[in-house]
Structure 1
Amino acid sequence: MKGVIAAPAGTASALAAVNPWSLLPPLGNLDAYISAVNRLPMLTLEQEQEFARKLKENNDIESAEKLVLSHLRLVVSTSRKYLGYGLPHGDLIQEGNIGLMKAVRRFDPDQGVRLVSYALHWIKAEMHEYILKNWRMVKVATTKAQRKLFFNLRSMKQGFKDDADAATHRDTLSEGQIDSMARTLNVKREEVIEMEQRMSGGDVLLDPSPSDDGEDAFGPIAYLADATHEPTALLESRARDNLASDGITAALQDLDPRSRRIVEERWLKVNDDGSGGMTLHDLAAEYKVSAERIRQIEVAAMKKMKKVLAAFA
């Protein structure tokens, strides 16, 4: 932060005595930062009003710095409420500090409220935005109603778990809990169910990276791809349909009646019960020839049809 510099550890106590607004000693870790923040002076109402007016009327940066530094402990306290989302504590504090600086810039001392009350909204807003952007790769809440539901669902579910009368030892909500939550938050029960499903699910890479042994990993992209509207697949499908209708018709017309009858009975006829047409022996008995002769006629007819279909394609 501007105005806050590091100094050798040996001079820390002396500098701190001279400047109570310093965050010295050098802040090498988060615990040191939080400890230093909690030692910064808190402003009285008169001091807060004075610094706020200097900032508003004269754009006094030193006054803005004192307003920000004196409320850093508020950011740390607020950030602890959002540790359950699995995001780094330091990042939450950093985003909250941004919200605090925005609040200080917009604060009007003549509105009759303390800066702590005004800044809390901006601090939470920045933390909420950070959580929604980073909690999952895919956003789980975009509208105002969804954001409200997102941040209330976890705390209310925890309340249900802690309630001895409603302890179910399950992660999912019961029908009664869904109805209760919907009434409390003034949303539809379907919205509660949808948000719970979004939060309980996880992110999955559609196209995972290759494994260590160089083989491609199997991912959802392998079975989620829709090839039905792919141009090449459409052309192939139309060609198959064309061959199966007009092509077969043209090939059959090129055969003599006996050959056409044999091919239709052997390959194209389907009875109501799902069975096929006549067998080789049935056709042999009808035409008074051997079954081998019927097979030879069939083979010759199929070769002739393949030539016609090839030319048709």
Structure 2
Amino acid sequence: MRMALAGGDDDVVRGMDEAMTNYSDVKDAPSYDLRDDSAGELREPVDYNDSKYERRNDKPERRTNTFSDRRKQDRRRASRDSGGKSDRIKSSVDPMNIYLREMGTLTLLKHEEELKLAKMMEDGKQIVQNAVLKTPIAIPALIEVIKGLEKNDEKICQIISGITENTPKVVARESKEFLARIEQAIVLDADRQKLLVKYLAEAPDTSTSKAILREIEAVGDGIRALFYDKIICAECIKAIAAALEDLSKRFRKVFVEVMGEYVGGQSGDAKEVSPEQIECQVNRQMMEESGVDEKQLRTILNEVDAGWDMYKQAKEGLVRANLRLVISVSKKFVNRGLQFSDLIQEGNIGLMKAVEKFDYHRGYKFSTYATWWIRQAITRGIADQGRTIRLPVHMIETINRLLRVSKDFLLEEHREPTPEEMADQLGTDVGKVKSALKIAKDAISLDTPVGNDGETFLGDFIEDKDKLGPDEVTMVSSLRECLHQVMSSLSPREAKVLQMRYGIDVDCDHTLEEVGKCFAVTRERIRQIEAQAIMKLKHPSRVEELKVFMTD
């Protein structure tokens, strides 16, 4: 009975072993993704008589695959799968990969779509311009424009847009015409100031005051109409809009002041002041200061906000559609001192400037115009941030020209050019070329790791000129011991004089007078003692020991 049970136990153990082996075989079998094209290889016929397919009844070989080995294989496979998964997760959360993936989904604009967005930006600026120019605050800004044009009439191309030709004749004509319009605006503003004086002299809310107020608004509309077909630069318009925002804050401050005067001046039986009376007094005070009442200012600010919203919406669309252009240009400046993400950031700044400066009236394609601004912004970013020691932009340009000349010369002559040859091709002085090549060398951090262990740094391999080397330290130590041995043969007085005169084992050497004071003798006596001690050291019995340390 026990024999049968024992045999039954062996069968049970053998059956469990077979079951575990079959499970491991199934588990270790390669899994194929039906979406993978390589899965098609399974369609080939399989020859099960091949030697690589083992029989299941071959138990001795199957028993060699122990349970611990299978556990190790499972752990290695799990670690390998988790490693690949972590790499995929890391790449999926990388901000640069996410940004590039998002930029790949953007569609490029056609030329007609670019023109539509550019016109939309122009319409937004036109709305803001029409709103701010009808206020008296715009006149000082226009006077500043006159001063700038009187110094240089070529600035007209920067002040207004729509000038398609930069010839001196066209520039002079446009500048003269624009100055004439500003002068007319100044004349109309003088008439508005006279009407404003009449308005303040009349009683509020009368038919006469209302009629004068309508005339003041008509003068503002006339000033606005003078520049209806001219788009003034955004910087000038933004300055006027900012002044209007300050004026709005001034309105609130004046309202609080007037309200405080009424509340503080009321007695117990005084009548309550209506909000209309307070508003009327605030409006008259602000009309006297700025020529605009609260209702006009609110309308103007609403128009300004609507215009800027239209402008920003079109600008954002034009910028977003050309972000891929920035990536394309940035790839040409890799390994220049800035990371790729920083290059893209600098290029985006240049792209936004290009959008603000773009004038579709000239007929250029936006990408052609924006490439120059993007390249310039990246170049300046590299010059400002790419080096530990900042170099001027003109020096960076000189270095870039030298690099281009060196590259072309290497392709033609199959060797590096000399500074003289580079100076000859650039038509400049050899000294300037050598100076630029010396400056072009990049600074390297002493903490740069060397090797893969991360325990050694570049600074560990650089010689310290201020410290003695091991061989020099050994030589100095040997020389000191030899000197002590040789000087021990002298008298104590002679040895002390030599030590003080030549700085041996003391902080510094001393003069004859200083040594004489120490021994209470004259300088001449110290000189005699020194000469006598040196003569003793020159004796062949002593000089032979010091000859080893003598150098040419």
- Aligned-partner Cα distance in 2 for 1:49–1:99: 17
**Given that residues 87 and 135 in structure 1 are in contact (C-alpha distance below 8 angstroms), is that contact kept between their aligned partners in structure 2?**
yes
Paired residues of 1:52 and 1:64 also in contact (CA < 8 A): yes
* CA-CA distance at 1:50 after TM superposition: 0.8
Q: Is the helix fraction higher in 1 or 2?
A: 2
Aligned twin of 2:418: 174
Letter in 1 for 2:348: N
Question: Is the contact between residue 43 and residue 70 of structure 1 (CA under 8 Å) also seen in structure 2?
Answer: no
- What's the counterpart of residue 250 of structure 1? 517
Task: Summarize the alignment of residues 143-158 of structure 1 with structure 2, pairs less than 5 Å apart.
Answer: 144-158=393-407
Report matched runs for 1:299-310 at 5 Å: none
Distance 1:263 1:55, change over 3 A: farther
CA distance, structure 2, for counterparts of residue 150 and residue 214 of structure 1: 33
Give the equivalent residue in structure 1 for 2:352: 101
Q: Offset of 1:78 from its aligned partner?
A: 1.6
Distance 2:432 2:466 in 1: 26
Q: Is the 8 Å Cα contact of residues 52 and 67 (structure 1) preserved in structure 2?
A: no
- Are the equivalent residues in 1 in contact too, given 2:96–2:341 (CA < 8 A)? no
> Contact 1:27–1:33 at 8 Å: present in 2 too?
no
SS at match of 1:138: coil
Q: Which residue of 1 aligns with 2:530?
A: 264
CA deviation digits over 1:187-237, x for unaligned, max 9? 4332222222333454243x889x98799x658795479xxxxxxxxxx9x
1:47 corresponds to:
116
Identify the residue that residue 288 of structure 1 maps to in structure 2. none
**Greater length-normalized contact order (CA 8 Å, ≥ 6 residues apart):** 2
* Cα distance in 1, alignment partners of residues 508 and 115 from structure 2: 86
**Which is further off, 74-83 or 42-51?**
42-51
Runs of 4+, deviation exceeding 4 Å: 108-114, 211-215, 217-222, 259-262, 278-281
Shift of the alpha carbon at 1:100?
0.7
What TM-score do you get using the length of structure 2 for normalisation? 0.34
Distance of 1:264 and 1:71 partners within structure 2: 87
Q: 1:74/1:68 Cα in 2 relative to 1: closer, same or farther (>3 Å)?
A: same
Could you say if the C-alpha distance between residues 208 and 115 of structure 1 is closer, same or farther in structure 2, counting changes exceeding 3 Å? closer
- Per the alignment, residue 161 of structure 1 pairs with 410
Q: Quick one: distance in 1 between partners of 2:103 and 2:358?
A: 25
The CA deviation string for residues 209-267 of structure 1, in whole angstroms up to 9 with x for no partner, is: 9x98799x658795479xxxxxxxxxx9xx846x324312324552799x757513224
Alignment partner, residue 82 of structure 1: 333
Q: Name the SS of the counterpart of 1:64 in structure 2.
A: helix
> Which residue of 2 is the match for residue 131 of structure 1?
382
Unaligned 5+ segments in structure 1 are 1-25, 226-235, 268-275, 282-313
Aligned length: 221
TM-score, normalising length from structure 1? 0.55
Separation (CA, whole Å) in 2 of partners of 1:92 and 1:63: 25
CA–CA separation in structure 2 for the residues paired with 1:83 and 1:150: 17
Deviation at 1:82, TM superposition (A): 1.1
Residue identity (%): 21
Q: Quick one: distance in 2 between partners of 1:41 and 1:107?
A: 15
RMSD (CA atoms): 4.2
Tell me if 1:190 matches 2:456: no
For the pair shown, which has the larger CA radius of gyration, 1 or 2? Answer: 2
**Displacement, 1:80?**
2.3
